[in-house]
Amino acid sequence: MQLLIYLSNFIIPLFIFYVVGYGLLNKSNVYDDFVRGAKDGMKTVAGILPTLIGLMVAVGILRASGFLEWLCALPANLTERIGLPAPLLPVMIVRMFSSSAATGLVLDIFKEYGTDSRIGLITSIMMSCTETIFYTMSVYCMAAKVKKSRYTLSGALLATFAGVAASIFLAGLMWKG
């Protein structure tokens, strides 16, 4: 275990020295390449920033207005029957847009139900098995200038629902209540 801790402290510096050494061996101007890459990265950030701000504001408004709780109360009886507790519906929806906002909801669930509860266990696994679909699609599609995403959204939604189902199943196997 101590060896892993020791190695993890040196992985990033070793990687940086490797890249610089490789560049020097190939007689490349490493600093100019770094600055050019940083400029390109800043252009990408400036291009996707409005989309990111829009997503964050929309999630904040949904959460603060109470609309999210109202929307999640509608299918609560159905989701309870399939094993998905109603308090997890807002997490599932918000997770598709923002990981940090979903983490805030997860912390609220942990405070109310506990981390070792069935709901806490499903929440933890669900956060690992799902992705921020709309955030990821907006960032990558804008950065790559993709105009038509074809089946990306439907595939990502299917993968998210599979992740939620897997989290319910795995939590059922692990939880001893």
pLDDT digits (tens, 9 = 90+) for 131-140: 999 888 888 8
**DSSP tag of 66:** S
Q: Which of 79, 83, 111 is nearest to 93 (CA)?
A: 79
H/E element, 169: helix 152-174
Burial classification of residue 110, based on how many CB atoms lie within 10 Å of its CB (0-12 exposed, 13-18 middle, 19 or more buried): middle
Tokens at 64, concatenated? 């603060």
Whether the pLDDT of residue 63 is over 80: the answer is no
Mean pLDDT of 39-49: 86
pLDDT band at 177 (very low <50, low <70, confident <90, very high): low
CA distance 95 to 103: 8
State yes or no: pLDDT of 62 exceeds 90.
no
45-53 average pLDDT score: 81
pLDDT for position 82? 85
8 A C-beta contact, residue 88 and residue 102: no
How long a stretch of residues is the chain? 177
Mean pLDDT of 163-169: 93
Angle formed at CA 156 by CA 131 and CA 104, multiple of 5 degrees: 25
Cβ burial of 122 (10 Å; 0-12, 13-18, 19+) is buried
